[in-house]
Structures are given as C-alpha cells and as structure tokens.
Structure 1
Amino acid sequence: MSNDLPQCSTVERVQLRSALRDLPAYKPGKSAAVAGSLVHKLSSNENPYPPLPSVQEVVAEAAAGINLYPDMTCGAVTEAVADRWDVPAASVSFGAGSVEVASQIVRAVAGEGDEVIFAWRSFEAYPILTGLAGATAVHVPLTEDERHDLPAMAAAVTDRTRVIFVCTPNNPTGTSVTTGELHTFMEAVPQDVLVVIDEAYVHFNVDPAAAQGIDFFRAYPNVLILHTFSKAYGLAGLRIGYAIAPDYVSAALRAVAIPFGVSALAQKAALASLEAEDEIEARISALVAEREKLHRRLARIGWSVVASEANFVWLRTGEATQELEEIFTKAGVIVRAYPSDGIRISIGTAEANKKALQTAKDAFTHFTSITRSAGER
C-alpha cells in the first residue's frame, strides 16, 4: 500500500504558550522508595495515620460504582460543609484538592496584565497557577521571623491587582497571621480585590491570637476561604478541597472547574470524615503534641526554629540546604528542601519524628561548620 501523506524534510514543532518558558515547576515531596532501608517520608505534609475505619468502609462501598460519573455538583458534601460552617450552600464550591480550587480562583479572576500577590516563600503553586493564567506574580518577602509582611503586601497593591493569597498557617514556614493584623490589612485592601485566606493547615493552629478565616468571610465582602481534606482529614490521595466565597464568586469557580473533577470516592470520604470529627480531632491533638515536642528539642539542639502552627516545622538553612538534605536522606528521613532557603520536616509518627530529631542533631553540627567556614572567608 502506498503512503499518500505529504513528506516533510523537516519536522515542525507545535507552538506552545510562551508563558510556559518561565514557569517554575512544582516539586512534590520525594518518594520514600529507597531499597533496603527503613525510610520515613516527612516531605509532603501527609497525615501519618491510616484512614479511619468508617471512612475506609464508605470508600470501599463507593468503589462498586466507579463505572458511573460522580455527582458533578458535589451536592451532599456541599450541604454538609455549608452546615458545618453555617454558610449558604451557594457559597461553597469544590475541586480536586485545594490547589485545584486555587487554580479555579486565579483563572476566574485574573488574566493577562493582571497581578496576583502572595508572600514568599509561601505555597509554591501560587506562582505556577498565576503564570498559567497569564497573570503576573508579585512576590512579597517574608519578614525576618518568617511571617507574612502584611503592610508590605498591602503596599504592593496596584490597580492591576486582582487576587491576594494569605497562607495562614504559612507553607512552608508554619507561621500564622493574627486577627488584628488581618483586620488592619483588610481595611487597606480595595474591596474589588479578592483576598484568599488559604487555611490548608488551619486544623493544627492552636494560637488563640490567630485569625480565623470564617470570621473574615462574614466581615468583608471580598474574602474567600480555602480549605482541604488532604491534611487533617488524611484524604490526600483522594483529592478534595473547597472554597467558601461570596455566591457570585463561587458560581464563577464552578464555571471554570473541570467537569466531574471530584470523584465519588472523594465525596463519600469527605462526608464520612465530617461525621467523624471527634476522632479526627484526637489525631490532630496527637500531631500537635508531636510538633511541639519536635520544636522544643530542635531549639534545644541549637536550631533557630520559629513556632509552627501547621503539621510541619521549618529550618532556615540557606545555602547549606542541599548538603543538609543529603544528610537527612542518607539517614532514611525524606524531608522537603527548598534550595537556598530551608528544609521543611512534616510531623509523622513518633518513631519517624525521633529519627528526624536524631538526624537534625547531626545536620546542625554540619550546618554550624559550614556557616563558620563561610564567616571566616
């Protein structure tokens, strides 16, 4: 059979969007797949506990129906979340994890020529999502004590600003924003700018002075709260998160969402988790206790570690980050390294945390040696 297709001497490449050229890549936590050794994966802020038996049961039952499309409206879990927070159901919208909801937010509100403001370092998906929308990312440096510089963020607002992300507790530093600070900030931000209070780690926040997103949603017309079932509820593998926002903003998020993006398994698991919050709370309390213990002992070693209100701790390691990450990896502790900035250690089981602490002691000895040598140059 002859081939009648036109023959080309050169192959033309498909033209891709120019925005992709400078787009930073999302770096997930490293896998724990290291042959022949016991490895503790503390790189992805995962809940170390297995799913609750009641959650496993409903997921197993729901698995029998995976030949069918899920409820695209997430009707039952929408009503449950609305009831949980005493907000209108029209104000609740879902996505495949809070990062996918964040993507909906940027795509619905910002475009070419617009600006999205966030602290830096903060959640690394923010600049990626902003770039994919064609908007401009505005990074505002954290303060010296690893916190949001809200006055500087307010000062960065221009007539092109469309969205501001306030991540509290902040990923990866674990610091939170206080109620007073956030009220002052909101008074300085124009009401046509959407302020996203990203509370992915809010369940671990025990600081009585910390801002609570739901209070700000009720007080200001331009606030959106971002929540996830991945962390405290332990459903990271099923991918489900949600926003609470003004109803017209929620409608816009649903308009840009991927159809059928939240699986039936995720919806059923989220419902079961909301019904088991007493059990979830017991696990949260245990993780917070482990976090506080790890923080105290890291400080005792000599690390200058800020108080965290999330399910991780942050070590500012600067240029020594890559070398220190290798020390952890060789010891069988997989951490999340941010080049030239620091290392984030998720709170795991008591055994994993103990190993992380032992390794952090060795890493500190190496760190002080590096910094001393750098100071003598």
Structure 2
Amino acid sequence: MKFNENLAQLVNYEAGKPIELVVREFGIEPKDVIKLASNENPFGTSERVVNAIKDVAKNAFLYPDDSYFELKNSLASKFNIGAKNIIIGSGSDQVIEFCIHAKANEKNAVLMAGVTFAMYEIYTKHVGAKVYRTKAQEHDLTEFLEIYKANKDEIAIIFLCLPNNPLGGCLDADEVYKFLNEISKETLVVFDCAYNEFAEFKDKKKWIDPAKIVNEFKNAIYLGTFSKAYGLGGMRVGYGIADENIIAELGKIRSPFNITTLSLKAAIEALKDEEFVTKSLENNFKEMTRYEEFAREFDIEFIPSYTNFITFKFKEQNASEIVQKMLKKGIILRDLKSYGMNALRITIGQPWQNDRVLKELKEMLK
C-alpha cells in the first residue's frame, strides 16, 4: 500500500516512557516508580481541578461548548486581550500543527534552532516543506537572522521556543521583540511559550507578553499550555494567542470539539487556582539548585534552566547507559540521544523524589 511520500523521511516522536512500561518490563511496583521524564507537574493536579472534573464527569456523554466561551474569556482577562485573539488546541502542539498546515507547503521552508522541540520538524515534513536549522543548539538570533535574510522568500515560518525544550535556556524578551522587527510581515513567527510561567518566575526579563504580541506584531503567535505549571498534561489543553486574522485562518483547520468536556472544565478551574501554580514554581527553582550543585560537584555541564527541567551534558559517561540503569531502579529520565546529544533531561520533582534521583546518580557516577 502506498502512503504520502513525505512520511518516508519521518521517524516517530519519542515520548517519555510511561510508568506502566517500567512496571511491565522490570516488575517494579507502581508506587516505587518515579517519572521525571516528561516535564509533568510533580504535585499532580490541583485538588480544585480534580473535584471539578468529578462534578462534570456525568456530562461526559455531551460534547463540550465548541465556542470554548468561558475558557477563552478567562484567558482574555488574564492576558488583557480579546477572546477573538485566542484559539484552543488539544495541547499547544496541535496549534503548532495548525500553524504549519496553514502557512507551509512543499514550496517553502521553516526555520528553527539547532536543538529544539522535535514536533516542529515532524509537522513541517508532513507538508513537504524544507527545514532550516541554526548550527547553534540554543537560540542564536544573529544566526537566525542570517539564515532568514539569505532565504527570505523561502522561509514561511520561524519557530522560537522560549524557554527552549529540551535544553532549558531562554532569551530576554526585549531582544526577541527587536528580532521581530527585522522579519517580514509575511513570515509567521511562532513563540512556543509552554514554559513561560517558569521563565517569568525566575527572571521577569524573559516573559513574553501575549498582549504585546497581539497589539504590536501582526505576524506572530504566542502558544501556551496547561500541561506544565497547571498540571494538566493528561487533559491536553493548549492555546494560541495572535491577531484576529491569524486566529481566523487557523480556525479553518481546527476540527470541532477538539478538546473534551472534562478537559475544558479542568482548564477553566486550573486558571482559578493560582496558589497551586505558585507552590509548583517555588518548589521547582528551590529544588533545581540541588541539581546544579550536584552537576558542579561531578563536573557535569548543565544548561541554566528557565523551565521545570534541567539538562545534563556528559563528557566521558554515556548518558543513554545512565538513563537505562536508572530505569531499572524505577526512575524514568529522558535520554536526549534522539536529539544527537550525549545528554539527559530531568524534570524537577518533589524533594523526596529528587533525594532518590540524586542518591542513585551519585552511586553511578562516583
């Protein structure tokens, strides 16, 4: 059977291993497994959200309000924008897919950082567009601009992952806005800000303001998610914020009822529980210092992170072997081999989780 020829150049996205896999393969009890591979909130989901989901579960047979009126208006109030400036997606990665299908094709190209979220390239190849990457792993805007100017007529979309996943670094907002002024209004610039809450908490200079994007940059879109700081990874709710014209075009691609009745209620309630988010952010950066100190002690290169994870780059040790050994001990970390790196990524957990991870890592490395 023949399929779309663009699929021949694709490999499946490698998600973080689930707890169930470790239980099956190594016979470890679920309660003894620590998953710090997919940047989920280690505190789980707000109790307020859990109760709301239970209450609305009886309506699981009903489709959600496809206008997403309450959620859009809550986001509009939070960011001081209009509801018409918002599109809802099944995770922010669905909005990434909307952007690529709306703007890219086999006649043009997409520009991204040397190491960044893998789905940008995967979705780009779905439509047969060319991929340009910087030589720098992190976001070097000088190099971005050089590549863009040399291929201006070809590049339809630029992806900026701020903070960058899977590395953790982040640019200052002012330099990003300055960069935007150099870009043609015909080029769509996508700000993937899944970890923006973490970046702002650590350093307010990193905060990308959705209202500024809407009001000043008609060729840009801000992407946010409920999967990280809000602890709703399993609910799959993301959003895009942009000029009304961009949102209207993306809306032509969105299928009806693209998030669930339960997901919609969860997101609405999550926005109301800022105390839960603050607790998560405070724990994250307090605990992250422990990993930084550990890296210095064992001469491991790490990237200063503005996210809820930290990336360790290894010189002599094999990161893949470390990840596999940790897996057998019931600790799930993320191997970055698929990104061409001898590195691993660790989601920052609760203190007791980090105690165990650091203890096991220390035993291996010493």
TM-score, length basis structure 1 = 0.88
Q: Which amino acid aligns with 1:212?
A: I
Q: What value does the CA root-mean-square deviation take over the aligned residues? A: 1.7
Which residue pairs with 2:323 in the alignment?
Answer: 325
After TM superposition, list the pairs within 5 Å mapping 1:175-324 onto structure 2.
175-205=169-199, 206-214=202-210, 215-317=212-314, 320-324=318-322
Give 5+ residue unaligned stretches, structure 1: 1-12, 366-377
C-alpha distance in structure 1 between counterparts of 2:183 and 2:364, whole Å: 42
Partner deviation per Cα, 1:319-351 (whole Å, 9 max, x = no partner): 823222223223332111121402111111212
Residues 197, 213 of structure 1: 8 Å contact kept? no
Q: Of 131, 142, 145, which residue of structure 2 is paired with 1:154?
A: 145
CA contact (8 A) 1:114 1:136 kept: yes
Structure 1 residue 309 displacement after superposition: 0.5
Measured against aligned partners, the alpha-carbon deviations of 1:209-255 in whole angstroms (never above 9, x if no partner) come to 32424234433221210000000000111110000011011111111
| AA matched with 1:17 | N
| SS of 2:258 mapped into structure 1 | coil
Contact 1:230 1:236 in 2 (8 A): yes
Q: Is the 8 A contact 2:102 2:250 kept in 1?
A: yes
- CA distance in 2 between partners of 1:177 and 1:30 (Å): 30
- SS at the partner of 2:205? coil
Q: Structure 1 counterpart of 2:166, which letter?
A: P
TM superposition shift of 1:269: 0.8
| Distance (whole Å) between structure 1 residues aligned to residue 281 and residue 128 of structure 2 | 38
Aligned ranges 1:49-60 → 2 under 5 Å: 49-60=43-54
Q: How far, CA to CA, are the matches of 1:118 and 1:82 in structure 2?
A: 29
Out of 69, 76, 96, the residue aligned to residue 102 of structure 1 is 96
Q: Distance in 1 between matches of 2:80 and 2:304?
A: 31
Percent identical residues: 29
Amino acid in structure 2 at the alignment position of 1:172: P
- Secondary structure of 2:204's partner? coil
How far apart are residue 362 of structure 1 and its match? 4.0
| Structure index of larger Rg | 1
Q: Which runs of 5+ in 2 are unaligned?
A: none
The secondary structure found in structure 2 opposite 1:188 is coil
Asked if the contact 2:283/2:350 (under 8 Å) is kept, the reply is no
Structure 1 residue aligned with 2:109:
115
User: In the alignment, what sits opposite 2:133?
Assistant: 139
Counterpart-to-counterpart distance in 2, 1:122 and 1:364: 28
How many residue pairs get aligned? The number is: 349
- CA distance in 2 between counterparts of 1:213 and 1:321 reads 36
